[in-house]
Amino acid sequence: MSAADRDARTEELKQKLAELESRFQTEAYKRGFDPAQVENMALPAALARLFEECAEIKSELAELADREGDLK
């Protein structure tokens, strides 16, 4: 993957993550959950999916950052 492709993918993932985290917080508050404490509680399926999507994107971002560090 070229540096330009990696940078574009990183920006795309950051934007998607911001949107998902905002949606997650909104949905969590609607259901009476504190988003800061969700790792310690069982979530309804819809919130669990959003949480998992965020975790997957964070993981991919970390991989991209590691690859960038390896190239330097």
Side chain identity, residue 61:
L
Domain boundaries, the chain: 3-71
What distance in Å separates the CA atoms of residue 64 and residue 26, rounded to the nearest whole number? Answer: 28
Query: Model pTM?
Result: 0.84
Residues in CB range of 23: below 8 A, 6 or more apart: 50
- In the predicted structure, residue 17 carries a pLDDT above the cut 90: yes
pLDDT at 72: 57
Question: Residue with structure tokens 């669990």?
Answer: 48
pLDDT at 71: 66
- In the predicted structure, residue 46 carries a pLDDT above the cut 60: yes
